[in-house]
Amino acid sequence: MKKGVFCLIMLLSIIGVQAQECNTALFLKEGASLTYTNYDKKGKKLSKTVHQTLNVDEIDEGYEATFKATVFDKKDTEEFTSQYTASCKDGLFSMDMLRFFDMSKLSEHNDPEVDLEIEGSVLSFPVQMSEGDQLEDGDIQIKVNKNDFTLVTMTFWVFNRKVQAQESVTTTAGTFDCQVVTFDFESKFGILKIKGSGKEWYLDDKVVVKSESYNKKGKLMGYHELTAME
């Protein structure tokens, strides 16, 4: 499968020397690995995704990194791999929306004859997020093509992103003091449309420690959390 090329990378300029903030991110080190386990609303394991840092390059006032995401099913059998990028410049962290997409859906189309056509924006996270901060929206569209025919189109929008509080959260990977970000989302998978909301816990404005998804009635649909890191 071809790697999608993302556009519309939005970077903000922050006054002061803040490039040092970038290299504190856990995954901005070659060979670093973060494992996330996905659960249903009852806490039953559904799958896991391992995000490995392939390379980190220095850019003006920051860094740019490439990652490999490997999806495993609930029995830890490898299903799918993909790549995405992230950058940190002038103290602003930005990551491809593919990182936030449910990549287990893509594993259903793990066919060498299938081509993924990906378009979208990135999500950005300013250094030292504080309660009340409003964050930028993001979106991604993935077309699954085979023999010049689109099999299915998947779209995901994230909006109304806002920093709500500072909370401590504990997973098998440890206990972390995090910024809590809430958001609304809308997804479309073929003719299936889903609207809902989410809540995420971020470590140092950059690393997702836990993420919960709710339906439009506010009921928990599922969650994923950081369960291991190297």
For residue range 60-83, what is the model confidence (pLDDT) as tens digits? Answer: 777 888 888 888 989 999 887 878
CA–CA separation, 166 and 229 (whole Å): 22
Q: Is 113 left (phi over 0), alpha (psi -120 to 50) or beta?
A: alpha
pLDDT at position 108:
57
Torsion sign across C-alpha atoms 165, 178, 173, 35:
positive
For residue 201, what pLDDT is reported? 94
Q: Which pTM was predicted?
A: 0.78
The whole-number pLDDT of residue 2 equals: 31
Q: In sequence order, what are the residues at sequence separation of 6 or more whose Cβ sits closer than 8 angstroms to the Cβ of residue 196?
A: 184, 185, 213, 214, 215, 216, 221
Which residue numbers in the chain have pLDDT < 70? 1-27, 91, 98-112, 127, 205
Q: Given this model, what pLDDT does residue 101 score?
A: 63
